[in-house]
Structure 1
Amino acid sequence: MLFLKMPRFKKYQLRLISVCFSALLFMAYWEKIDNNIVTHVMSFSYRYIFNSFTFINTSLRVNPEDALKYNKRRYLLNHERKCDREDVLLLLFVKSSSENFERRRAIRSTWGNETYIATTLGVTVRVMFALGLHPEPEYRSKLKMRLFLEDQRYHDLIQQDFLDTFHNLTLKLLLQLGWKETYCPRSQFLMSADDDVFVHIPNLIHYLQRSNGKDLWIGRVHRGSPPVRDKESKYYVPRDMYPWLSYPDYTPGSGYVLSRDVATKIYQASLTISASFHIDDVFLGICAKVMDVAPKDHLFFSGEGKAPYHRCIYNQMMTSHGHVGDIREMWKRATEAEAGQVSSGLIWRLYCTVVKVRLLCVPFISNSYSCKAAFL
C-alpha cells in the first residue's frame, strides 16, 4: 500500500514545491510591483484631482539665449526649397538613424511615396527623414558618403550636427519643429513618425481633409504617466530634472499629427523651455501645456504592437508600430483591402465589429489598439 501511495505523494510534493517557489518569486518582486502600483495611483491622482501643472511656467523656463543653444544646430544636409512650389497639405517627418538605409527605401516605395500620394489622393505631401550624426566616429565617416549619395538621389534627408542617441531625441524634435517653421510654414499639418511605423496614408489624408485644419493634435494619448525613477531604465528621469508626480498629457513619439497653428505654438514654447529634458514626446507635452494645447486621442494610432493583419483593421487604421522588415507586405495588404473591400452595409459592419472584438479585446493578444476601437 505504501508503494502504491508513493506516486501520489510525489505529485503533491511537486505541487507544494511549485507553490512555494511561486510564493518566493512573488515576494521577491512584490516590492517592485507594489512601488509601481503606488507610483501610478499617485500619478493619476495628481493628473485627475489637481490637474494644474502650473509649475511648468515657473520651473522649466529658461532664457532665450539658453534655449537657442538647443534650437540652432548646424545643418549638414538640407533642402531649403522643398516646400516652395506647391501648397503642402502634410509635412511628414520620419525620424531615422543614419544607418537605416533599407527602412528609408521601404518607406519611399510604399506609404511615403510622394508621387503615389499626389496621383492617387490628389494632394501634396512632403516626406522628409530627420537625422543626426552616428554616435561612433569611425562608423560616422563611413556613412557620410553613402548618405550624401542617397540624398543626391532622393533629396529628402535633413541632418543636423548632433549625436543621434536616445538622450538627444528632443534635439530631433526641435529639428522638425524648426524646419517646418523656417522652410515649410504653409504646410497645413505636421506629422512625426518613427522609421519602424507604418502609416496608412489614404486613411490619414481623408481624416485631415475632413478636419477644419485648426487646433488639432492627434495620436495615442498618454494621460497621468509618472516619471520613471528606475536608474536602469532608459526612460529614467532624476528628481532634480523633474520632481513632480505626473507628466502632462502627451502623444508617443512613434506617431502623431499637429495642425499648423498647434505646431507653431509648440515651437514658440520650445524656445522658452529647457531642451535638456531628453524624453522628446514628454517635452512636446510640456511645451503644449505651456500654450494650453491638449491632445486628442485617436483609437487607431498604434500602441507598442503591430496592428492585426485584417481588412476590418485596415479600413480605419492610421498607424501601426514595430515594422522593420514587413512594411512592403503591410502596404500591399492595406492597399489591396482598400481597393477591394465593401465598407458599407449593416452586415459588413456587424462582421467587422465581431472580428475587431476578437482581435483587440482578448487580453494579451494585441497591444496595438485599445478594445474601444473595436466598436468604432
Structure 2
Amino acid sequence: MFWNFRRIRKCQCVQLVMTCFVLSVLMVCWEQLDHHVVSHMKSYSYRYLVNSYDFINKSFGISQREAKSQSNFPYLINHHDKCDSNEVLLLLFVKSSPENLERRQAIRATWGNESYTQRELGATVRVVFALGVHPNPQQRGRVQRGLLGEDQVYGDLVQQDFVDTFHNLTIKLLLQFRWSHNYCSQARFLMSADDDIFVHMPNLVHYLQGLIRQGARDLWVGHVHRGAPPNRRKDSKYHVPYEMYQWPSYPDYTAGAGYVVSGDVASKIYQATLSLNASLYIDDVFMGICANAMGVSPQEHVYFSGEGKAPYHPCIYDKMITSHGHVADVRYLWKAATDPQIHDISSGLLGKMYCTAVKVMLLCKPYYLNTYPCKAAFS
C-alpha cells in the first residue's frame, strides 16, 4: 500500500512538472503559436464555414470624393500615348522602386522587351513601370534626375508624386488601374508584377491567346491565397492592426508578385476603387476586397508562383508562367527558359513521363511552399 501511494505521488509530481513546462512553453511561444496556428484556424473556419464578406464592403465603403482624394497625386512622368495600338493583348505594369534601375534594365532586355514580343510572338504588349518618388528627401533630387534621363531613353515610366514605400503599395495599385482606365482601356488583359519576378513571356502570351479564343471573361488568375488571416505580429512589415481590419480572415486574393486580369475585370476593379477606402496597405489584399465587392473570384493557375522561386529545370520552364525572387539571374533564366530545345525535352510519351517524374521530385515536398504546387507535376 505504501509503495503504491509513493508511486501515485511520484506520477502526480511528474504530471505537475510536465504541465508547468507545457504552460511555460505556451507563454513564451504564444505569439508565434497564435500567428501560425490559432489565427489560421480562425481564418480557415470562417472562410469555409461562413464565407461571406459583404460586411467588409460596407465597412470599407466611402464616397467617390473621398476615394479619389486617396490617389489624387499629380503625374511627374506620364505617357498618354503608350497604348497607341487598338490591338493591345496585354498591359503589363511592373511595380518598381525609383532606385531599381538595374532591375528595370534586366526586364527591358528580357521578358519585358516589347520588340521581342511583337517580332517573335506576334503580340502587342505594353510594359509600364509604376513608380512613386524616392523616400529619402536628401537623395530624391538626384534620383529624380536619373529617372527623367532614363525615361527620355526608354519612355516606359509612369510616376506619381507619392512616397514610394511598402506602405504605399495600395496607392500604386490605384495608379495601375486608374491609368489603365484612362489611357489603355482597350487592352485585353492587364498584368501586375513585381520587379523581382520572372515572366515566361512566350508561355504567357500563348496562354492569353488561348483565353481569347475561348472568349474568357471575369478572369483573375494567379497564385490564390484562400482564407488567409491578418498578420497581428507587430514586428512584421505585414502587420495589420485590429483598427484597420477587424475580421479573422481576408477575402480570397492572388499573390501580388504577379497576377493577370481580363479587361472587363480591370474595369470592375477601377469602379470598385472609386467607392472603397484604400487605407489597407497590403495591396494584394485590397485587390481581393475590390474584387469581392464586384463579385469577381480569383482562379488558381499552378504555374503562377506565389512568394517563392520555381526550381531551375527545363521540365519546369516548359510550362512556367511566373517565378518570384529573381534579380541577378534574370538574363540567365531568360536565355535558359526560352531555349527552343526546351519543348523537345518534354515532347513524346517518354519525354512527358520523364518530366512528370522530375516535377514530382522537385515540387512534391512538404516544405516546398509558396511556389508551384505538387499538382503542377501532373498538368
Q: Same fold (TM over 0.5)?
A: yes
Shift of 1:225: 0.4
Deviations 1:60-94 (A, max 9, x none): 10011110112322100000011123410000000
- Counterpart contact for 2:132–2:159, Cα < 8 Å: yes
Which residue in the other structure is 2:30 paired with?
31
Task: Please list the CA deviations of residues 179-199 of structure 1 after superposition, one character each: whole Å capped at 9, or x if unmatched.
Answer: 100000100000000000000
Equivalent residue runs for 1:130-141 within 5 Å: 130-141=130-141
- For 1:309 and 1:183, how far apart are their aligned partners in 2? 37
Contact 2:31 2:233 in 1 (8 A): no
Query: Shift in Å at residue 365 of structure 1?
Result: 5.1
Q: What is the TM-score normalised by the length of structure 2? A: 0.90
> What residue is the counterpart of 2:148 in the other structure?
148
- How far does the alpha carbon of each residue in 1:120-159 deviate from its partner, in whole angstroms, 9 at most, with x for none? 0001000110000111111111111111111000000000
Instruction: Provide closer, same or farther for how the CA distance between residues 46 and 330 of structure 1 changes in structure 2, counting only shifts above 3 A.
Output: same
Spell out, residue by residue over 1:242-289, the C-alpha distance to the aligned partner (whole angstroms, 9 max, x if none). 101100000111000000000110110011000111110000000000
Q: Indicate yes or no: 2:253 matched with 1:250.
A: yes
Q: The residue matched to 1:118 in structure 2 has which SS? A: helix
Q: Deviations over 1:158-187 (max 9, x none)?
A: 000000011100000001000100000100
Instruction: Give 1:25 shift.
Output: 9.8
State the partner residue of 1:169: 169
Q: 1:48: which partner in 2?
A: 48
Q: Contact 1:311 / 1:337 at 8 angstroms: preserved in 2?
A: no
Q: Is 1:238 matched up with 2:241? A: yes
| SS at 1:207 equivalent | helix
Shift of 1:363: 3.1
Query: CA distance change for structure 1 residues 361 and 184 in 2, over 3 Å: closer, same or farther?
Result: same
Q: Is the 8 A contact 1:359 1:366 kept in 2?
A: no
State the shift of 1:337 in Å: 5.1
Q: Shift of the alpha carbon at 1:307?
A: 1.2
Alignment of 1:137-216 (within 5 A): 137-211=137-211, 212-216=215-219
**Percentage identity across aligned positions?**
58
Amino acid at match of 2:279: S
CA 1:26–1:363 in 2, change beyond 3 Å: closer, same or farther? farther
Q: CA deviation at 1:362?
A: 2.3
Q: Give, in whole Å, the separation in 2 of the partners of 1:365 and 1:171.
A: 32
Cα separation, 1, equivalents of 2:298 and 2:190: 14
Once the two structures are overlaid, the 10-residue window that deviates more, 196-205 or 334-343, is 334-343
Structure 2 residue 220 is matched with structure 1 residue 217: yes
Indicate the SS of the match to 1:364. Answer: coil
1:300-325 Cα deviation digits (max 9, x unpaired) = 11122211111110011110000011
- Which of 143-152 and 22-31 deviates more? 22-31
Distance 2:38 2:208 in 1: 40
Write the letter of the residue equivalent to 1:67. A
In 1, the alpha carbon distance for the partners of 2:343 and 2:293 equals 46
What SS is found at the alignment partner of 1:341? helix
Contact 2:223 2:305 (C-alpha < 8 Å) held by counterparts: yes
Segments of 4+ moved more than 2 angstroms: 22-30, 337-344, 362-368
* Superposed CA offset, 1:295-349 (max 9, x none): 0011111122211111110011110000011100100100115566243322111
Match for 1:227: what amino acid? P
Provide closer, same or farther for how the CA distance between residues 366 and 222 of structure 1 changes in structure 2, counting only shifts above 3 A: closer
Question: Matched residue of 1:71: which SS?
Answer: coil
RMSD, aligned CA = 1.7
Aligned equivalent of 2:117: 117
Provide the rounded CA distance (Å) in 2 between the counterparts of 1:356 and 1:236.
35
Mind listing any 5+ residue stretches in structure 2 that lack a counterpart?
1-20
Shift of 1:30: 3.6
Name the SS of the counterpart of 2:338 in structure 1: helix
The answer (yes or no) to whether the contact 2:90–2:189 under 8 Å persists in 1 is: yes
SS of 1:191 mapped into structure 2: strand
8 Å CA contact retained: 1:95, 1:194: yes
Shift of 1:23: 8.7
- Residue in structure 2 matched with residue 300 of structure 1 by the alignment: 303
CA contact (8 A) 1:188 1:213 kept: no
Say if 2:82 is the partner of 1:79: no
Q: Structure 1 length as normaliser, TM-score? A: 0.91
